[in-house]
């Protein structure tokens, strides 16, 4: 009687193969979108604003025109202007209690 010994079939482990394939796909997509893709549509659809009013600000060299304006003088100051206050002690080597 003959003894037949079969080698155990090696199964392919799909988990490391799937993880490796996933990492390769993520890296390929990152390289494509960072370096090779065209500009997004938002950059193409954003309108270019014509700044015609920019010239009018250059002509306002006199601050009295703004300060004497009725709309400017009717504004209310909700938060007072900050002041410097005291900055430390006069003599930093004196012990304070």
8 Å CB contact between 89 and 96: yes
Rounded to the nearest angstrom, the gap between the alpha carbon of residue 50 and the centroid of all alpha carbons in its chain is: 26
Domain edges within the chain: 14-48
- Is residue 1 pLDDT above 70, yes or no? no
- Tens-place pLDDT, residues 16-70: 999 999 999 999 999 998 898 887 666 655 566 655 555 566 666 777 888 888 9
pTM beyond 0.75, yes or no = no
Confidence (pLDDT) at 56? 62
> Any idea which of 1-5, 7-11, 45-49, 63-67 has the lowest mean pLDDT?
45-49
Nearest to 63 by CA among 55, 53, 72, 54: 72
Confidence (pLDDT) at 32? 93
Rg (CA), the chain: 37
């Amino acid at each position: 009687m003959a003894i037949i010994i079969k080698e155990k079939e090696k199964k392919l482990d799909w988990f490391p193969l799937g993880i490796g394939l996933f990492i390769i796909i993520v890296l390929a997509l990152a390289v494509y979108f960072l370096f090779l893709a065209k500009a997004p549509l938002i950059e193409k659809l954003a309108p270019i604003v014509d700044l015609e009013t920019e010239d009018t600000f250059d002509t306002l060299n006199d601050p009295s025109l703004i300060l004497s304006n009725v709309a400017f003088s009717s504004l209310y100051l909700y938060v007072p202007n900050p002041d410097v206050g005291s900055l430390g002690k006069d003599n930093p080597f004196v012990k304070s209690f």
